[in-house]
Structure 1
């Protein structure tokens, strides 16, 4: 798929404005001890999170459902502009970070060929930061699969972490 095709498809986008400086939002997003507090939608926990935060590095998190079922996600980092942007690819994995074919698990996930996840951290001034996460899946698919709702729940959890960091500062 060409770059033009990637740009023509409406991708999943979630945005949140935080009442905190960009450095605190970045910290909540990039420090494994905080990621463990927000990884996964409402009701999910993250009992394990390992991170090698550098271009070519990887994040590996266990996401535990309310019923106790565990699933693993890996994120590979392709570009990091400190306090501004992270370009990555995320996928379901085993506990060692090896990619799992979702079809084998009976999970449907539509991804846009050649598209990466992009997370942008924008300083709005007055101590506010806008975080925009652009996924690698089409918006319509993300709405239908519940991913859009899940990402909004994740951002609710990130907001709680950021609020705690702001209070502690």
Structure 2
């Protein structure tokens, strides 16, 4: 699928409101020690995560299934507006960050090439933050492939990390 074939309304969008200040939600999303606590759907763990958090910087994260399968994801940061917005690419990778065609892994992926993910962090008052994740995949495919459910589960895990950060503050 080409990027011209998908508009913003067709893209996967997941929204979550956190009972925490935007700075803590941002920290949970951008600090590798916290990302390792939530990267991957329910039941999965993240044994490795490296983040070079700057425009042009890259990230590489691993998620491990309960039966030991490891899947790697990498990407590059294209835009960073502190505590407000992150625009980055995301792709399947090997453990060194080299791009892998999803079909090689047996994964059907209807992501839109060269269309980045967008993550928005919005202070909505009363100490709450709305996080909006706009993925590079169509909503239809995200539902059919389980991506949408996976992101919802990861946002549940982020909520637990944010709660711990809030209590530690």
TM-score normalized by structure 1? 0.95
Q: How does 1:26-65 map to 2 (within 5 A)?
A: 26-65=26-65
Listed one character per residue, the Cα deviations across residues 5-63 of structure 1 (whole Å, up to 9, x for unaligned) are 44265110000000000000000000000000000000000011111000111111111
- In the alignment, structure 1 segments of 5+ residues that lack a partner are none
Matched residue, 1:101 = 101
The reply on whether 1:137 has 2:137 as its aligned counterpart is yes
CA root-mean-square deviation: 1.3
Distance 1:8 1:47, change over 3 A: closer
Matched residue, 1:150 = 150
Distance 1:159 1:112, change over 3 A: same
- In the alignment, structure 2 segments of 5+ residues that lack a partner are none
CA apart distance, 1:92: 0.8
CA contact (8 A) 1:6 1:115 kept: no
- Distance in 2, matches of 1:106 and 1:49, equals 23
The reply on whether 1:20 has 2:20 as its aligned counterpart is yes
CA apart distance, 1:75: 2.0
The reply on whether 1:89 has 2:89 as its aligned counterpart is yes
Q: Count residues in correspondence.
A: 168
Distance 1:96 1:113, change over 3 A: closer
Secondary structure (helix, strand or coil) at the match of 1:54 reads coil
- Distance in 1, matches of 2:78 and 2:29, equals 16
Matched residue, 2:121 = 121
Secondary structure (helix, strand or coil) at the match of 2:166 reads helix
Matched residue, 1:111 = 111
CA apart distance, 1:114: 4.0
- Distance in 2, matches of 1:2 and 1:89, equals 13
